[in-house]
């Protein structure tokens, strides 16, 4: 296969945006998986009000927030909640998008019309508004990140389903699909083994960008006070700092910078992949 | 046109019932105890339990509950918040400020998004184009609450250009900074969309024809290209209202503007379930109606849609 994927890889290798985005994404994944590699300060127990809003010091590169907590260790440990919510909700949204988009594009006709109305209903609920309702309804129970994961995953898939549907329609008239059908392959086999692998690129691009958007949404929900409870996260850190915005910008700017860099990295990665695999969309 | 109108209206009605049913089900079915879902972590008194059960008809079957809820929504009987204040009265007080804020934001989007996009497209690859592409990407990657908090801190508190939170006595001026914050995301997307749309249209055959007829460049760009390029931009601005609503919760929350978004923001903080579910449903209703109007206008402007 020295064809499309080799071409795409050559394009990607020469694209500095791809490398920058990849470096940020890998760093954030490392922070989420092994925070103790980067900071030996415990973000919960090391707070001391005597340090409130102090500037950077040895071992505390970013200084301290209003509560006297070490900003550096809080920002390092905050990555986990964002990355986990992003990954799990993207998985749910991806499965939903495939479950709805594949049959809609493959069968067409009535199935397509019914599924399109189903997609309309979910498109009719702006992501943040719907997620707020789910998170408020489940607020009384101690469920950690799961209400937010569920809300974003179950409400964030409709645009992706449309992307899946469109790329399935483009692939289903190919000769190899006809050949598989003539050979007696079942609908499920044709969809999953023949059409899906050839329609995968736009879906992967879409899901990469979606992951970034979910991380932004998770932080926004934390900021609003309905994110995961009792976790250290960038959204919570920004919300805390926003209340004391008159007293100092550093506790606000640092988590804000990490959050923006992460969201941006996923969007740029998605753009770079799309440019490499599908130059027509550039 | 009338066949298209009918089809689109039916779709709109279907979506409305589907979306509100979904919101209602999420509020009342996924929690173990629907009453506790309405009140969050606060303990409920016996009289509150009785009152909420009656207000949401929680002793009746699910679809009956939903029917009562929709009837209230459509007839304007919006019920009471968890601490007994009528939600309708709170909303009436809050609306004007949200409308002022969002109109100002949409104005900013149209003014700067379209003119910026056209300018970038005419100067493709030059400094303005490159800078605006990079800046808009950063804006797209930054959640509204981050932009809001940072702008409040920098332009409000540090530089002192704006009052960092709502001050009624300033009139419309108090909305300027929040409106910029609210507008930025749509502005960035709108600018990129206009740029691409205009750049594509500049290469179209009709532009070459107009040029060979000897028409002036301002006329070609201002009349021929712009009219053809703006259709997707107008649709985008209409459809983007959903994001704008999400943004309004955050923006009004940060800048303390007592509008509808702030009502919801406060409702979330106070774990006031009735208020949250009612305001969200109303916002969805407005969102769907606006989308419907935009779609119909679009069909009116572009015959390819209604015959497609």
- One DSSP character per residue, A219-237 reads HHHHHHT-SSTT---HHHH
Other CB atoms within a 10 A radius of the CB of residue B166 amount to 18
The count of residues in chain A is: 282
- In terms of average pLDDT, the best of A48-52, A191-195, B193-197 is B193-197
Least reliable range by pLDDT among A24-28, A39-43, B50-54, B190-194: A39-43
| Closest alpha carbon within chain A to B158 | A246
Average pLDDT over residues B89-105: 87
Average pLDDT over residues B283-306: 80
Read off the pLDDT band of A60 (50, 70, 90).
low
Give me the sign of the Cα torsion angle B263, B265, B269, B274.
positive
Please report the pLDDT score of residue A91 as a whole number.
95
Q: For residue B81, what are its two tokens?
A: 């918040």
Q: Do B137 and A134 touch (CB under 8 A)?
A: no
Q: Do B280 and A241 touch (CB under 8 A)?
A: no
How far is residue A207 from each of residues A161, A163, A175, A213, A282, measured CA to CA in Å?
Answer: 11, 10, 28, 10, 18
User: For chain B, how far is it from start to end, CA to CA, in angstroms?
Assistant: 11
Q: Is A70 helix (H, G, I), strand (E, B) or coil?
A: strand
Is residue A60 within 8 A of residue A70, CB to CB? The reply is: yes
Is residue A43 within 8 A of residue A69, CB to CB? The reply is: yes
Give me the sign of the Cα torsion angle B113, A217, B268, A257.
negative
Please report the pLDDT score of residue B112 as a whole number.
92
Q: Do B31 and A138 touch (CB under 8 A)?
A: yes
Residue A114 forms contact with B (CB below 8 Å): no
Q: Do A249 and B245 touch (CB under 8 A)?
A: no
Q: Is B56 helix (H, G, I), strand (E, B) or coil?
A: coil
A182-203 core/surface letters (b: 16 or more CB in 10 A; e: else): eeeeeeeebbeebbbeebebbb
User: pLDDT over 70 for what percent of chain B?
Assistant: 94
Q: Is B80 helix (H, G, I), strand (E, B) or coil?
A: strand
Please report the pLDDT score of residue A280 as a whole number.
57
Measured between beta carbons, the chain B residues lying within 8 angstroms of A242 are 145, 149, 152-153, 254
- In terms of average pLDDT, the best of A36-50, A98-112, B57-71 is A98-112
Is residue A246 within 8 A of residue A232, CB to CB? The reply is: no
Let me know the angle formed at the C-alpha of B5 by B4 and B11, rounded to the nearest 5 degrees.
Answer: 90
Other CB atoms within a 10 A radius of the CB of residue B233 amount to 22
Q: For residue B62, what are its two tokens?
A: 């699910």
Those residues whose C-beta lies under 8 Å from the C-beta of residue B139, and which sit 6 or more positions away, are: B147, B184, B185, B187, B188
Report ipTM (2 d.p.): 0.83
Q: Tokens 């992307």, residue?
A: A163
Instruction: Tell which B residues from 152 to 191 touch A, by Cβ distance under 8 Å.
Output: 152-154, 156-158, 164
Q: How far is residue A165's CA from residue A189's CA, in Å, rounded to a whole number?
A: 17
Q: Is A57 helix (H, G, I), strand (E, B) or coil?
A: strand
| Closest alpha carbon within chain B to A271 | B137
pLDDT at A46 over 80: no
Average pLDDT over residues B131-150: 88
User: pLDDT over 70 for what percent of chain A?
Assistant: 86
Read off the pLDDT band of A1 (50, 70, 90).
very low
Residue B288 forms contact with A (CB below 8 Å): yes
Q: Is A40 helix (H, G, I), strand (E, B) or coil?
A: coil
CB pairs under 8 A between A and B: 169
Please report the pLDDT score of residue A214 as a whole number.
92
Nearest to A32 by CA among A165, A241, A231, A170: A231
Backbone phi and psi for residue A124, each to the nearest 5 degrees, phi listed first:
-75, -10
Is residue A132 within 8 A of residue B253, CB to CB? The reply is: no
Is residue A278 within 8 A of residue A213, CB to CB? The reply is: no
Burial of A141 (0-12, 13-18, 19+ CB in 10 A): middle
Q: Do B288 and A124 touch (CB under 8 A)?
A: yes
């Amino acid at each position: 296969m020295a064809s499309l994927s080799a071409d795409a890889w050559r394009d990607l290798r020469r694209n500095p945006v791809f490398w920058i985005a990849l470096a940020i994404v890998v760093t954030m994944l490392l922070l989420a998986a092994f925070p103790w590699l980067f900071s030996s300060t415990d973000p919960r127990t090391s707070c001391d009000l005597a340090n409130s809003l102090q500037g950077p010091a040895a071992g505390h590169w970013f200084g301290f927030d209003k509560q006297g907590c070490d900003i550096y260790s809080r920002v390092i440990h905050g990555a986990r909640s964002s990355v986990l919510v992003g990954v799990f909700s993207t998985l749910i949204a991806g499965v939903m998008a495939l479950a709805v988009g594949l049959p809609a594009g493959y069968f067409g006709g009535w199935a397509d019309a019914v599924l399109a109305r189903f997609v309309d209903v979910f498109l009719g609920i702006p992501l943040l508004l719907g997620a707020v309702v789910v998170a408020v309804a489940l607020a009384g129970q101690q469920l950690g990140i799961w209400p937010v994961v569920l809300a974003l995953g179950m409400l964030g898939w409709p645009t992706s389903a449309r992307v899946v549907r469109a790329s399935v329609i483009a692939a289903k008239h190919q000769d190899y699909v006809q050949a598989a059908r003539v050979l007696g392959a079942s609908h499920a086999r044709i969809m999953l083994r023949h059409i899906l692998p050839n329609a995968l690129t736009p879906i992967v691009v879409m899901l990469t960008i979606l992951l970034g958007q979910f991380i932004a949404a998770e932080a926004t929900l934390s900021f609003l006070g309905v994110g995961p409870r009792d976790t250290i996260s960038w959204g919570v850190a920004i919300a805390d700092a926003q209340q004391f915005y008159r007293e100092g910008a550093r506790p606000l700017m640092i988590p804000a910078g990490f959050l923006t860099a992460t969201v941006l990295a996923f969007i740029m990665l998605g753009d770079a992949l799309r440019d490499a695999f599908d130059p027509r969309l550039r | 046109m009338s066949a298209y109108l009918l089809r689109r209206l039916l779709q709109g009605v279907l979506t409305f019932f589907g979306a509100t049913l979904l919101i209602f089900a999420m509020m009342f079915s996924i929690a173990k105890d629907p009453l506790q879902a309405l009140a969050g972590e606060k303990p409920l008194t016996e009289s509150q339990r009785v009152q909420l059960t009656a207000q949401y008809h929680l002793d009746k079957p699910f679809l009956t509950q939903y029917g009562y809820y929709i009837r209230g929504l459509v007839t304007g009987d919006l019920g009471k918040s968890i601490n007994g204040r009528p939600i309708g009265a709170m909303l009436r007080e809050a609306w004007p400020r949200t409308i002022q804020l969002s109109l100002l934001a949409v104005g900013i989007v149209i003014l700067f998004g379209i003119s910026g996009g056209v300018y970038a497209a005419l100067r493709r690859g030059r400094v303005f184009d490159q800078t605006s592409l990079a800046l808009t990407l950063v804006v797209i990657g930054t959640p509204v609450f981050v932009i809001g908090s940072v702008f409040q801190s920098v332009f409000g508190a540090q530089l002192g250009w704006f009052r960092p939170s709502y001050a009624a006595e300033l009139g419309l001026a108090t909305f300027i900074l929040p409106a910029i914050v609210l507008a930025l995301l749509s502005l960035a997307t709108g600018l990129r969309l206009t740029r691409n749309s205009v750049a594509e249209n500049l290469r179209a055959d009709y532009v070459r024809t107009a040029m060979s007829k000897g028409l002036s460049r301002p006329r070609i760009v201002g009349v021929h290209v712009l009219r053809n390029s703006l259709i997707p931009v107008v649709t985008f601005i209409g459809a983007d209202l959903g994001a704008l609503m999400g943004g309004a919760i955050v923006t009004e929350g940060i800048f303390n503007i007592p509008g509808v978004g702030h009502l919801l923001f406060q409702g979330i903080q106070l774990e006031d379930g009735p208020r949250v579910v009612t305001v969200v449903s109303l916002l969805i209703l407005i969102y769907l109606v606006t989308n419907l109007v935009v779609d119909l206008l679009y069909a009116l402007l572009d015959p390819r849609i209604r015959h497609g």
